[in-house]
Structure 1
Amino acid sequence: MNLGLDGRRVLITGAASGIGAATAMAFAAEGARLGLVDRDAEGLSAVADAIRDKGGEVRVRTADLSTADGVHSGVTGILDGWNGTTDVLVNNVGQCLARSFDDLTDADYLATFEINFLSAVRAIRLVLPGMRAQGHGSVVTNTSDLARQPEPGLVDYQMSKVGLVSLTKSLALSEGPGIRVNAVAPGPVWTPLWTRPGGFADTLGDLHGRDAEAAVRHELGRRQLPLGRMGEPDEIAQVITFMASDAAAFVTGSVWGVDGGTIRGLL
């Protein structure tokens, strides 16, 4: 589809794999200019090469977004090549490990909030001055269905995502009318967040006392998704791209569920 994103500057965090990589490819297909940040230099290079092979324009910056210095160096490294501003920010970076409440330490909570919540706060803080000066901008943050419908064993992750929902709502109020601020709330999506060694699937297996594959089946069985399957990164990326575009010009403060129907509530 043509969303009018040709030439727009789009900065994406956590862009080396999964939803972030799919989102970068979706924006590139719309003619946007990409700035990608991730700590995975190899994955980042592969995504950038794929975009360039299709004639796209892309800048990359390797940085650890779980730290204040990492967010600053990564985001400003992209913005410096764009006269200090961007048209779109996609906050995508995050992590999810399955751990019981009793196993979680203060350090675990802080580490989760650093990468899932504060990375977004810090990135937004860096892009807002330029967006305000140019009079327009769009921020889309990747939260989770679990922010609205919690499950056991993911307390720290869910709390960090609730914070992102609240941040989205608050900034939509304070930054309008020039800057739109929205979020997507994916359900289970088969990405490296799940599949990497020591990732969500492995830790879910540890939590439930079974192998990773059986634990994933158990988790999905409990959620009873009406569509009967996990999502694909491209399916989230298409919604992010739409929400960042002028096609969604009357949408702000929205948290768009892309979850296969997992949320049962009316709100």
Structure 2
Amino acid sequence: MISLSLAGKVALVTGATSGIGAATAGALAEQGAHVLVAGRDPERGEAVVAAIRARGGKADFVAAELGDVAAVRQLARSATELGGGRVDILVNNAGVYPFKATEEVTEEEFDAVYALNVKAKFFLVAELAPAMAERGAGSIINISTQVASYGAPGMSLYGSSKAAVNLLTRSWAAEYGPRGVRVNAVGVGPTRTEGTAPMGENLDGLAAQAPAGRPAEAEEIAAAVVYLAGDASSFVHGAVLPVDGGRTAV
């Protein structure tokens, strides 16, 4: 019988101080995982940790800038130490999502988006996946987006960075899967979070294009991550699971 429990597992969630990351951290903790809440803001991070502990879960905050490879490697070391020598589940959630016409994007903006959305994920996997493979088990979940699957005005920079994540997901599945590490992604649709609140009615308009006709709640995305993290998805490798209200189906 497949166990849905993550008891005894150590999970690192980047960008976990708010939104989808915070909801994911809480959901993983509810399944018994020791969750490492990674983010830039210690105050918000400790608030997420406190909320998890108040519900009987186990969590710790770990500072994470992710602005360069040295910082990524430091996060991997800190997380491994806090996790008692290992990280079993990695959720690559941290990212930025600027919507801007191609001709308006500066070189600095381009570099910043690819640094966080692609480069940081790449080197965090490079740091943590080999140890998972050595132990013969692990799960990596990359948070992607519906606009990595189709063209949309104003989303060339964001969408292309997440399309790279989708390809990396498949490449890493092929690379680490034979050694017991499953790598998958969640293709997220419009979701109500603190970060998307400024979009206002534009968020509803974007969501209205999908069969579900509404934005997701962060907890709905978190539920998909929990599925991919645990044994219930033991035969799922290299998938980009659409959790977008059906947008990529139409």
TM-score of the superposition, structure 1-length normalised? Answer: 0.88
Choose the corresponding residue for 2:213, options 220, 224, 228.
228
Q: Distance in 2 between matches of 1:85 and 1:126?
A: 11
- Equivalent residue runs for 1:16-35 within 5 Å: 16-35=17-36
Q: State the AA in 1 paired with 2:13.
A: I
Per-residue deviation, 1:2: 6.0
Q: Distance in 1 between matches of 2:221 and 2:201?
A: 25
Q: Report what 2:230 is aligned to.
A: 245
**Pairs aligned (count):** 248
TM-score of the superposition, structure 2-length normalised? Answer: 0.94
Q: Deviations over 1:195-246 (max 9, x none)?
A: 26xxxx2xxxxxxxxxxx344444445xx11111000000000010011101
Q: Report what 1:205 is aligned to.
A: none
Q: Report what 1:120 is aligned to.
A: 121
Would the alpha carbon gap of residues 217 and 86 (structure 1) be closer, same or farther in structure 2, given more than 3 Å must change? Answer: closer
Would the alpha carbon gap of residues 2 and 42 (structure 1) be closer, same or farther in structure 2, given more than 3 Å must change? Answer: farther
Runs (5+) with no aligned partner, structure 1: 202-212
Choose the corresponding residue for 2:190, options 173, 188, 191.
188
Q: Report what 2:87 is aligned to.
A: 86
SS state of the match for residue 247, structure 2? coil
Counterpart contact for 2:65–2:71, Cα < 8 Å: yes
Would the alpha carbon gap of residues 19 and 2 (structure 1) be closer, same or farther in structure 2, given more than 3 Å must change? Answer: farther
- Equivalent residue runs for 1:81-230 within 5 Å: 81-177=82-178, 178-195=180-197, 201=199, 213-221=200-208, 224-230=209-215
Runs (5+) with no aligned partner, structure 2: none
Per-residue deviation, 1:39: 0.5
SS state of the match for residue 192, structure 1? coil
Per-residue deviation, 1:81: 2.6
Q: Distance in 1 between matches of 2:215 and 2:128?
A: 33
Q: State the AA in 1 paired with 2:95.
A: G
User: What's the Cα RMSD here?
Assistant: 1.7
Q: State the AA in 2 paired with 1:132.
A: A
SS state of the match for residue 70, structure 1? helix
